[in-house]
């Protein structure tokens, strides 16, 4: 749980942080943050795992962004 200690207050705001349950999908190593992390730059990845069929495909466009959810996460 050590990695999540600095985030411990997020639960009170409706965000529950958990370890990646899909390690076989290499979510972090596929992220833009991975290159930064390999260079020693702190590069957290937080996701709601609300992935859709077009995720990271050419068809993954602005229409797939859930702006209400995104705003709620930013405000959190």
List the domain boundaries for the chain. 2-75
What does the pLDDT look like over 17-76, one tens digit per residue? Answer: 677 777 888 888 888 888 998 999 988 777 666 667 787 788 888 888 888 877 877 776
Long-range contacts of the stretch 44-51 (C-beta < 8 A, 24+): 46/17, 48/73, 49/22
- CA–centroid distance for 7 within its chain: 14
> CA torsion sign, 68 to 74 to 75 to 76?
positive
pTM of the model: 0.45
Q: Which residue has the tokens 């200690």?
A: 5
* Per-residue confidence band for 1, with pLDDT thresholds at 50, 70 and 90: very low
pLDDT of 13: 62
């Amino acid at each position: 749980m050590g990695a999540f200690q600095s985030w411990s207050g997020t639960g009170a705001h409706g965000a529950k942080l958990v370890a990646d349950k899909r390690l076989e999908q290499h979510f972090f190593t596929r992220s833009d943050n991975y290159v930064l992390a390999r260079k020693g730059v702190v590069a957290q990845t937080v996701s709601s795992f609300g992935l859709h069929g077009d995720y990271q495909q050419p068809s993954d466009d602005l229409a797939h962004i859930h702006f209400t959810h995104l705003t709620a996460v930013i405000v959190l």
